[in-house]
């Protein structure tokens, strides 16, 4: 499994790096969404939704529509209305940051086993 990460979050990045080493996931950090190549294998994308621009959301939607990539978005504080908004733009799962950080290992395992 390849995990694509677009975030400016050292704690989340460190946790992803540790888990990718333990479970042999390929981990790719991206500076921006334009760097992402079109996925050709089982992929998971994790995106920090803080400060998202309209063009970023449209790119997420395009990536989600054109591939089998599973997209997880997260933010520090997020309510139900915002979750629905980001899901409409292609996020398969939207979580609060602390919940994702706490459950990251089990989420990665479930997504990897679902393929």
Hey, what are 66's tokens? 């054109």
Nearest to 41 by CA among 3, 97, 86: 3
Q: Which residue has the higher pLDDT, 74 or 32?
A: 74
pLDDT at 87: 94
Q: How far is the CA of 30 from the CAs of 7, 27, 89, 94, in angstroms? A: 8, 10, 19, 19
Q: Which domains does the chain have, with CATH numbers?
A: 2-114 (3.40.50.2300)
Mean pLDDT for the chain overall = 87
32-50 burial code (b ≥16 CB/10 A, e <16): ebeebeebeeebbbbbbbe
Its pTM stands at: 0.88
Reported as a pLDDT band with limits 50, 70 and 90, residue 76 is very high
Hey, what are 10's tokens? 């050292």
pLDDT at 91: 93
Reported as a pLDDT band with limits 50, 70 and 90, residue 18 is very high
Query: CA 112, CA 115: separation in Å to the nearest integer?
Result: 6
pLDDT at 95: 96
With contact defined as beta carbons under 8 Å apart, do 42 and 113 qualify? no
């Amino acid at each position: 499994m390849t995990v694509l990460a677009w975030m400016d979050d050292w704690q989340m990045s460190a946790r992803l790096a540790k888990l990718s080493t333990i479970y042999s996931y390929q981990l790719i950090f991206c500076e921006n969404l334009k760097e992402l190549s079109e996925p050709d294998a089982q992929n998971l994308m994790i995106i920090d939704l803080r400060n998202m621009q309209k063009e970023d959301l449209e790119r997420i939607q395009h990536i989600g529509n054109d591939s089998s990539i599973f997209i997880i978005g997260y933010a520090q504080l997020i309510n139900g209305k915002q979750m629905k908004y980001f899901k409409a733009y292609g996020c398969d799962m939207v979580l609060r940051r602390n919940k994702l950080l706490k459950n990251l290992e089990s989420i990665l395992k479930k997504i990897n086993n679902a393929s």
